[in-house]
Amino acid sequence: MLCPVLAVSWALLVAAVLPPACRARAVTGGGDDPERARAIELIKGRILADLGLSSAPTGHGRAASDSLHMEHMMRVYRRSLHRPPEEGGRRRGRKGLARGAAKEVTHYYSFKSEGRALQMARKGRASLQHIRFPIHIASGRPRAANATARSYSVRYARLRLRMMSRRPTLVRIYQLMEPGCASCERRLINIRRLSRKGRHRMDVAEAVQSWIDRPDSNHGLDIECKPACRLSRDSALDVEVAEVLNRSHRSYRNGPAGVLLQHHRAIDCSHGPDNQTDLCCRHSLKVSFAEIGWHWVAEPKEFDAYMCKGRCPNDNRNFNSTHALVQSLMSERADVPSPCCAPKSLKGLSLLYQDGPDSDLYTVATQQGMVVEECACL
C-alpha cells in the first residue's frame, strides 16, 4: 500500500497521466478535494523554485524561433543525458530534503554577440576586433521567493570563433576593464596560435565570472590577431554555470509542501520475477509536461518518474533497516503504523527549458529527485 503522505506528494505526477476529464477533477478537486489541488500547486511551485524561477515562463520566448540557438541547446541537452551524476547529485532520503541546505543546479547557456558590435581595426600586421555578449544570468533571473541567497560559479566559458583567414595567426583575448576607448585598461584572458581556417574555441571563464559577479563590468572583449586575421561575425559564447540556492529551514518545513517533502525517505526495492508481485516495488509512472500546461519545458516531452507501491509484510526481505523490520513486527498494535513503501534512491532529470518568464534564452539544468531508482519498506 502506498503511504498517504507519499501518495499526495506524487499527486502532480498522477494528475499528469490521467485522462483530461479525470485530470481536471484531480487538479481542481471537482469542488470535493481542494486540498489535493492546493498540494499540486505547492509541488509545482517547489519545482520552479528548485530551478531558480519565481513563476512559470510563458513558453513563447524568441529563442523558440531561433533555430541556431535551439539546435545548439538541443546538442547540450543530449550531452547532459550521458553525463555521470555529480557527487551529491543523487538524493537519498530525508537528508538534504528537510534541512534547507544549499542546493546546486547546473545551467548551460549559449549567448550570441550583440548586433554588429564586431569591428576591425588594422595596425600594421595586426588586427583588433571588439565583441560583446549580453550576459543575463544573475541579473536577468527572477529571485525565487524561498531562496535566501544565491551564488554562481562558472564551470566553463568558451568563446566560439570562426577564422576566415587561411594563414596561421597568434590570437590574444583581452577583457576590457573600462568602456571602449583607444587607451582603455585591458586584461589578457587567453592566448593561442590558430593554424587553420575554421571554427575554434577559447576559454574565457575568468572574464565571464567577473561579469556575473559585477554585471556593470561587462565592457566586452578585444580579439587581437598577429598577423592580421579575419573572423566571422557569428561568434558565440557557451557557458556552464553552477547556481547554488541557499534556502531557509522554514521554507521546507512550513505548510503541506514541507510535510510532503519531508516524507521522501530513502529505502531499497526490486521488482518481482514476473513483475506481478503485490509486495513493495517500483512501478511505471509516465509524466507529460504538456498535459500539465508546462509548454516552456522543451525537452523531455515526457518521462517515467516511477513510483513505489506495494505491501510491507513481516516476511518481506525488502526492509531498508532493522528499525523498519521492528516497526513491521510491532504494527499489530493499534498505535504503531506499518512500514511504508517509498523511494530508497532518486536521480535527477535533465530539462531543456525557457530561462525565465520573459527570457529569450533556453537553458539546460538537472532537476534533482525527479526519478525513482529503487524502492523499499521504511
Contact 115, 373 (CB under 8 A): no
In the prediction, which pLDDT does 207 show?
Answer: 93
Q: What CA–CA distance (Å, rounded) separates 103 from 284? A: 27
**Three-class secondary structure assignment of 283-346:** ECCEEECHHHCCCCEEECCEEECCEEECECCCCCCCECCHHHHHHHHHCCCCCCCCCCEEEEEE
pLDDT band at 159 (very low <50, low <70, confident <90, very high): very high
Contact 347, 90 (CB under 8 A): yes
In the prediction, which pLDDT does 313 show?
Answer: 78
Instruction: Answer whether residue 26 shows pLDDT above 70.
Output: no
pLDDT band at 210 (very low <50, low <70, confident <90, very high): very high
For 214, how many CA atoms within 13 A lie in the half-sphere containing its CB?
A: 9
- Is the overall model pTM greater than 0.85, yes or no? no
- Percent of the chain exceeding pLDDT 90 equals 7
Residues of the chain with CATH 2.10.90.10: 53-65+77-100+263-377
Instruction: Answer whether residue 251 shows pLDDT above 80.
Output: no
In the prediction, which pLDDT does 146 show?
Answer: 52
Instruction: Answer whether residue 300 shows pLDDT above 80.
Output: yes
Q: Mean pLDDT throughout 286-300? A: 84
Instruction: Answer whether residue 69 shows pLDDT above 90.
Output: no
Q: What CA–CA distance (Å, rounded) separates 16 from 24? A: 10
Q: What CA–CA distance (Å, rounded) separates 231 from 165? A: 8
In the prediction, which pLDDT does 17 show?
Answer: 40
Tens-digit pLDDT profile for residues 87-125:
333 333 333 333 444 566 777 888 888 744 444 555 557
CATH 3.40.50.700 applies to domain 53-65+77-100+263-377: no
Task: Find how far residue 10's CA is from the centre of its chain.
Answer: 20
Q: Nearest-5° angle of CA 233, CA 235, CA 238?
A: 165
Closest CA to 2 of 273, 267, 302: 267
- Percent of residues in the chain assigned helix, strand, coil, to nearest 5: 25, 35, 40
Give the highest mean pLDDT range of 104-118, 120-134, 151-165, 360-374.
Answer: 151-165
In the prediction, which pLDDT does 232 show?
Answer: 81
Residues of the chain with CATH 2.60.120: 103-244
Q: At what angle do helices 255-262 and 34-50 cross, to 10 degrees?
A: 70
Length of the chain in terms of residues written: 378
DSSP string, 148-179: EEEEEEEEEEEEEEEE---S-EEEEEEEESSS
In the prediction, which pLDDT does 148 show?
Answer: 55
Q: What CA–CA distance (Å, rounded) separates 259 from 375? A: 20
In the prediction, which pLDDT does 309 show?
Answer: 87
The residue that leads in pLDDT, 34 or 139, is 34
Q: Mean pLDDT throughout 35-42? A: 73
In the prediction, which pLDDT does 111 show?
Answer: 85
Q: Which helix H or strand E contains 189, and what residues bound it? A: strand 186-194
In the prediction, which pLDDT does 9 show?
Answer: 39
As a whole number, the mean pLDDT across the chain is 71
Closest CA to 77 of 301, 342, 262, 248: 301
In the prediction, which pLDDT does 122 show?
Answer: 56
DSSP string, 260-273: HHHT---------T
Question: What pairing do the DSSP bridges indicate for beta strands 341-354 and 103-112?
Answer: unpaired
278: amino acid identity, one letter: D
In the prediction, which pLDDT does 90 show?
Answer: 37
Cis upstream peptide for 300 (omega within 30°)? yes
Q: Mean pLDDT throughout 18-36? A: 47
* 122-126, 158-162, 297-301: least confident range: 122-126
The residue that leads in pLDDT, 268 or 162, is 162
In the prediction, which pLDDT does 149 show?
Answer: 66
pLDDT band at 208 (very low <50, low <70, confident <90, very high): very high
Q: Which residues pair with 159 in a beta bridge?
A: 202, 237
The residue that leads in pLDDT, 350 or 7, is 350
Tens-digit pLDDT profile for residues 122-145:
555 788 888 899 887 754 455 555
- CATH match for 103-244 among 2.30.30, 2.60.120, 1.10.150, 3.30.70: 2.60.120
Give the highest mean pLDDT range of 42-51, 136-145, 218-227, 262-271.
Answer: 218-227
**Three-class secondary structure assignment of 76-134:** HHHHHHCCCCCCCCCECCCCCCCCCCCEEEEEEEEEECCCCCCEEEEECCEEEEEECCC
The residue that leads in pLDDT, 276 or 36, is 36
Instruction: Answer whether residue 271 shows pLDDT above 50.
Output: no
